[in-house]
Structure 1
Amino acid sequence: MDINPLIRRLLRKYKTNCPFELAGALNKEIWYRDLGENTRSMFRKTLRRKYIVIHSGLSEEWQRVICAHELAHALLHPGISRFWIDEHTFFRVGKYEREANQFAVRLLTVNVFFEPGESISDLFLRNNIPNELSEFYI
């Protein structure tokens, strides 16, 4: 699925690219829980209710990115409950994880433009996006 039209529809309808605001507008509850050392988040669907669970021990920067990532699972992979398992690398992710990462980066950088001489790392730093996700910048 091409994620750009989906993001454009979300922006047009909700006038925001904030993943927390979008989750609320789309009736996805956000819970903050201690998920342990290796799990950052999960998207869960239980009895028609949809939850994004974010590890409470993460920085605000990572919580924002992970909310966008899990929102992608909710929108792109609605029948699947997925865990974002931290393997200390983002290089061996499956198709669903790659799509969710691309969606998150695209959502958080929509309408963001490079300054003269700015690198992707600089752009990410300026927009509070962890540099580890730079490979998913479209």
Structure 2
Amino acid sequence: MDDIIRKLIRKYKTSCPFEIARGLGIQIRYIDLGKTTKGLYYRKLRRRFIVIHNELPAEWQRFVCAHELGHDQLHKGINRFFLEEHSYFAPGKLERQANGFAIMLLTAGTVMHPEETLENYCKRTGIPHEMQVFIQP
């Protein structure tokens, strides 16, 4: 996973998931996905899509884009939904991997300061508070 992220950042000269997705030709859409779905990734007729719930705060939209980009890079050919009710405490293997990808991408090039709390690190790097359980200090 580290290698994939490093190559993406080097190629697109950014760790912004939106810019990387556009560079990869992934179309990003914003729609109302209801109360429990934050985003989804799917392929249709060789076209790739990331759909993000349009009522999420910007911090969550960024995380969801990175998460769904993780599905694109790690789980080729599998359509996935990012479900709020299953993503925090007992996510399946693919969801844990996509969360790890998102965190690694969004924190690339940053380190946790010696006296910094995990909560402050998440704020500084734009990781939603609920996702800090997936950060490995």
Structure 2 gaps of 5+ residues are none
TM-score normalised per structure 1? 0.94
Is the partner of 2:82 in helix, strand or coil? Answer: strand
Q: Compute the displacement of 1:129 (Å).
A: 1.1
Q: Where do residues 21-36 of structure 1 align in structure 2 (5 Å cutoff)? A: 21-36=19-34
For the 8 Å contact 2:70–2:98, the answer to whether it is kept is yes
What amino acid does structure 2 have at the position aligned with 1:123? Y
What amino acid does structure 2 have at the position aligned with 1:124? C
Number of aligned pairs?
136
Q: Please list the CA deviations of residues 9-41 of structure 1 after superposition, one character each: whole Å capped at 9, or x if unmatched.
A: 111111100000000000000000001111111
1:102 pairs with one of 100, 103, 106: 100
- Distance in 2 (CA, whole Å) between partners of 1:137 and 1:9 is 21
Supply the RMSD in Å over aligned alpha carbons. Answer: 1.2
Which position in structure 2 is the counterpart of 1:121? 119
- Distance in 2 (CA, whole Å) between partners of 1:94 and 1:72 is 14
What amino acid does structure 2 have at the position aligned with 1:95? K
Percent sequence identity is: 48
Which position in structure 2 is the counterpart of 1:16? 14
- Distance in 2 (CA, whole Å) between partners of 1:137 and 1:122 is 13
Which position in structure 2 is the counterpart of 1:38? 36
For the 8 Å contact 2:106–2:126, the answer to whether it is kept is no
- Distance in 2 (CA, whole Å) between partners of 1:88 and 1:135 is 14
Which position in structure 1 is the counterpart of 2:2? 4
Is the partner of 1:87 in helix, strand or coil? Answer: helix
Structure 1 gaps of 5+ residues are none
For the 8 Å contact 2:40–2:52, the answer to whether it is kept is yes
Which position in structure 1 is the counterpart of 2:56? 58
What amino acid does structure 2 have at the position aligned with 1:97? E
Q: Compute the displacement of 1:128 (Å).
A: 1.7
